[in-house]
Structure 1
Amino acid sequence: MLKQQVSSYLYTYAWQNDEEELCKLEMRALFSFDVASNILQSPRKIEPSRSPFIRSRLDVLYEANEISEIAHFARSLDLDGATFKVFCLNKFAIGDIEKIQQHARQQVEREIGLNIQAEPDLYNPEIAFGIVWHKERWYFGYYVEGEAVWLKHQQKPEMYSTALSTRVARAIANIAIPDPASVKAIDPCCGIGTVLVEALSMNMNIVGRDINPLVVKGARTNIAHFGLHGDVQKGDITQNTDSYDVAIIDMPYNLFTHISTDSQFAIIKAARRIATKVVLVTIETMDDFVNEVGFTIIDRCVVKKGTFERQVLVCE
């Protein structure tokens, strides 16, 4: 099979205008920096389907100024009998580079493909290669397309009008838990489990809790509906005695019940006690409460939906 070593990873991005700040916050969580454009290069390997904003990942094997150099490199690939297909990623504007028209993209794909010593398969290739023109250079490597997993979770058996969208919930799970290895997390005001479903679908170690028994039952139903397994218990966060690396809190609210400022402060104070890091989602400014309990806000963003706004605070 292929023996060449991956040198870096190129990620293409897409976001809605109202979610640009959230996308950039997720970038910073996953890669420790963000970019203004829709393409990001990093030595860190992330599965594209984790993010609601990543379109694809290119595992860079080779880069050069000329297509002929890439074609020469492609001649050395050993696919060990596997079939392949080459995709030119410039089918939309990438960074400062305008979209490459279809006939030109096909010419690039053909030139590379003709030099790969293996059988092409345009419909069901065993190996996908990608090539992209970026920063005045061609980048070539394995191509991994992102899957919109969050879309599958939009229709739940139990729904809640003020719940986060699955796109936002998935990004918030990534912001809270950028590297799931050895991280123990809790969603102590989990509602119907929107964040839990996204986190569990990414194999994150997270448990849920809520004070409302009907909501707890709904969260369990939603988790089971998608074939996932997660622990959701009834209980008040202030009574929780366990410790966690991170807590994700979508501050409770709805159109009919107004949570008191005392209750809001009690939730944040309890979060400070049980977790070393908290990602707080709120429709009201909570900076004073966060600072008072001893947290520092290390990053933040605003997520908009029309005139409705949520603040996302990363606190440590």
Structure 2
Amino acid sequence: METRNDVPLYLYTYGSRLEETELCYLEMRSFFDKQSDSGLLMSEIAVHPDRSPFMRERIEVLYQGEQLADILEQVKQIELRDETFKVIFVKMSDLSPEDKIDFDQMRLVEREIGIYIEGEADMRNPDRIFGLVYWGGRYYFGHYIKSKAVWLTQIQKPRSYSIALSTRVARAAANIAVPFPSGKTAIDPCCGIGTVLVEALSMGIDIVGRDINHFVVQGTRENLAHFGLETSVICGDIADVTDHYDAAILDMPYNHFSTTTPEKQHELLIHARRIANKVIVITAETVDAFIAEAGFTIVDRCTTRKGSFVRQILVCV
């Protein structure tokens, strides 16, 4: 039998669309300094699964062992008092053949573990939910949290336009910019209709917005109010920003839809360098040379697609 480790350990399950796989991996690296292509990631770092548009579930590992018997023996230690519980054997579709367990066997394992936990099971509305994963020849059991996919509730906005970032991309970009929000400040200096602001504020990130288009700023404020979110959104040029921020998210204007010139793109990057320590640049064009001229180093990057439209997401410091 193997006992619980004193160091917190978390197992995360992931899923992403093919066109957003690179973005999913970049967000993983921002949270955990590593990535996993197995659909499972293990880390000592705690991130709530509601944060990520790609994270499905999290298990805070209480017990682990090579045999199911190891888990059965250890769950006897759980003290529920008057709380009810439920056990979920987490189903993974992309595990290696040796790690796969069929549906009927998973249900049997759930029931068997439930017998060893002293307390009342409640399959509909339990006070506590426990999760079990079999991965790499080991069982992992612990507190289970499923993502509520908050971003799904924020897709429909009162004001929108076709080239705006999707809520998934915006949420991931906010996480890449500010993976751990405590004590950090951020700015979206070209906020457009406010998709990044909505996602960032809904995760507790301290962020403000700005845009040079008065009508767009009105739309941003309307969208924020619709979701009960508040922050400063100013109509003005990035050149007028005097405060300094830990991070900026710079969604570059696209030549496909605007009259933005290379000179203006260069100017945006120069000012971004001035006002923030770290800048996430989102661009439909290759601007590596401008980024270098502005004094940035690109430390990570990815691409993401929306149909035939490809965006680059660059992490610059």
Counterpart-to-counterpart distance in 2, 1:257 and 1:296:
27
> Who is 1:23 aligned against?
24
Task: Give the counterpart letter for 2:33 in structure 1.
Answer: S
Gaps of 5+ in 1: none
Task: Give the counterpart letter for 1:72 in structure 2.
Answer: E
SS at match of 1:164: coil
Counterpart-to-counterpart distance in 2, 1:303 and 1:57:
25
Q: 1:253 deviation in Å?
A: 2.5
User: Residue deviations 1:166-191, cap 9 Å, x none?
Assistant: 00100000000011011110000000
Q: 1:65 deviation in Å?
A: 1.1
Counterpart-to-counterpart distance in 1, 2:92 and 2:305:
29
Confirm or deny that 1:257 pairs with 2:251: no
> Who is 2:138 aligned against?
137
SS at match of 1:265: helix
SS at match of 1:35: coil
- Taking the TM superposition and a 5 Å limit, the aligned residue runs for 1:274-313 are 274-313=275-314
Q: 1:96 deviation in Å?
A: 5.8
User: Residue deviations 1:187-246, cap 9 Å, x none?
Assistant: 000000000000000000000000001000100100110111111011000121111111
Counterpart-to-counterpart distance in 2, 1:133 and 1:182:
37
- Taking the TM superposition and a 5 Å limit, the aligned residue runs for 1:131-210 are 131-210=132-211
Answer whether contact 2:99 2:137 (CA < 8 A) is retained. Answer: no
SS at match of 1:175: helix
Counterpart-to-counterpart distance in 1, 2:29 and 2:13:
15
> Who is 2:66 aligned against?
65
Q: 1:80 deviation in Å?
A: 1.5
SS at match of 2:109: helix
Answer whether contact 2:99 2:136 (CA < 8 A) is retained. Answer: no
SS at match of 1:269: helix
> Who is 1:229 aligned against?
230
> Who is 2:241 aligned against?
240
User: Residue deviations 1:33-72, cap 9 Å, x none?
Assistant: 1112110000001000100000100000010111112111
> Who is 2:116 aligned against?
115
- Superposition RMSD in Å: 1.5
Task: Give the counterpart letter for 1:33 in structure 2.
Answer: K
Counterpart-to-counterpart distance in 2, 1:68 and 1:14:
30
TM-score normalised by length of structure 2: 0.96
Counterpart-to-counterpart distance in 1, 2:98 and 2:233:
47
> Who is 2:80 aligned against?
79
Q: 1:308 deviation in Å?
A: 1.3
Counterpart-to-counterpart distance in 1, 2:178 and 2:97:
31
Stretch of structure 1 that moved more, 70-79 or 280-289: 70-79
User: Residue deviations 1:141-184, cap 9 Å, x none?
Assistant: 01100111111111000011100000010000000001101111
Task: Give the counterpart letter for 1:195 in structure 2.
Answer: V
Task: Give the counterpart letter for 1:260 in structure 2.
Answer: T
Counterpart-to-counterpart distance in 2, 1:108 and 1:254:
57
SS at match of 1:114: helix
Task: Give the counterpart letter for 1:143 in structure 2.
Answer: Y
Task: Give the counterpart letter for 1:274 in structure 2.
Answer: I
Q: How many residues are treated as equivalent by the alignment? A: 314
Q: 1:305 deviation in Å?
A: 2.0
Counterpart-to-counterpart distance in 2, 1:72 and 1:44:
27
SS at match of 2:77: coil
Counterpart-to-counterpart distance in 2, 1:75 and 1:155:
46
> Who is 2:273 aligned against?
272
Answer whether contact 2:9 2:45 (CA < 8 A) is retained. Answer: yes
User: Residue deviations 1:114-165, cap 9 Å, x none?
Assistant: 0000000000000000111001000000110011111111100001110000
Task: Give the counterpart letter for 2:200 in structure 1.
Answer: A
Answer whether contact 2:244 2:276 (CA < 8 A) is retained. Answer: yes
SS at match of 2:120: coil
Answer whether contact 1:242 1:274 (CA < 8 A) is retained. Answer: yes
